């Protein structure tokens, strides 16, 4: 299964935050899964660090993703921009659009790991 990972889920996972649901933790630690991170997720993390809203080390985030064979950083390219759904803020729209690229263009079954109510309510892709 391919999972598109929302920013807060990844931060909670890295921080071992209690807000991360056990189901999300189980999914994130299963080696058979593939995880796709929109480049916007990295930009959001870097921004949150610069605003001192989170204490994650950005270099360690990049090292973690680079060392993980089942993690992919997907760029914000033309396909993603063309697939951006209306009605979501730009960050959420780019994350969902990345999932749509994987589903519609690459033909993969995808789910989004999120707790974001707007993404959940949009019902564009399945959410865990």
Specify the DSSP class assigned to residue 6. Answer: P
pLDDT beneath 70, residues of the chain? none
Q: What is the pLDDT of residue 126?
A: 98
Question: Using CA atoms, how far apart are residues 20 and 62, in angstroms rounded to an integer?
Answer: 21
Q: What is the pLDDT of residue 100?
A: 98
The CATH-assigned architecture of domain 2-122 is 3-Layer(aba) Sandwich (3.40)
Q: What is the pLDDT of residue 121?
A: 97
Q: What is the pLDDT of residue 85?
A: 97
Contact 36, 6 (CB under 8 A): no
In the beta sheet, which residues pair with residue 35?
3, 71
Contact 81, 74 (CB under 8 A): no
- Per-residue model confidence as pLDDT tens digits over 93-128: 999 999 999 999 889 999 999 999 999 999 999 999
Angle between the 39-50 and 90-100 helix axes, to the nearest 10 degrees? Answer: 150
């Amino acid at each position: 299964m391919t999972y598109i990972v929302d920013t807060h889920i990844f931060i909670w996972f890295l921080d071992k935050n209690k807000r991360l649901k056990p189901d999300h933790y189980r999914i994130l630690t299963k080696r058979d899964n593939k995880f796709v991170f929109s480049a916007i997720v990295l930009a959001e993390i870097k921004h949150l660090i610069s605003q001192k809203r989170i204490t994650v080390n950005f270099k360690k985030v990049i090292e973690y993703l680079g060392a993980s064979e089942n993690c992919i950083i997907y760029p914000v390219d033309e396909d993603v921009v063309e697939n951006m759904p209306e009605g979501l803020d730009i960050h959420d729209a780019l994350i969902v659009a990345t999932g749509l690229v994987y589903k519609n263009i690459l033909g993969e079954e995808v789910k989004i790991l999120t707790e974001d109510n707007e993404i959940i309510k949009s019902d564009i892709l399945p959410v865990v």
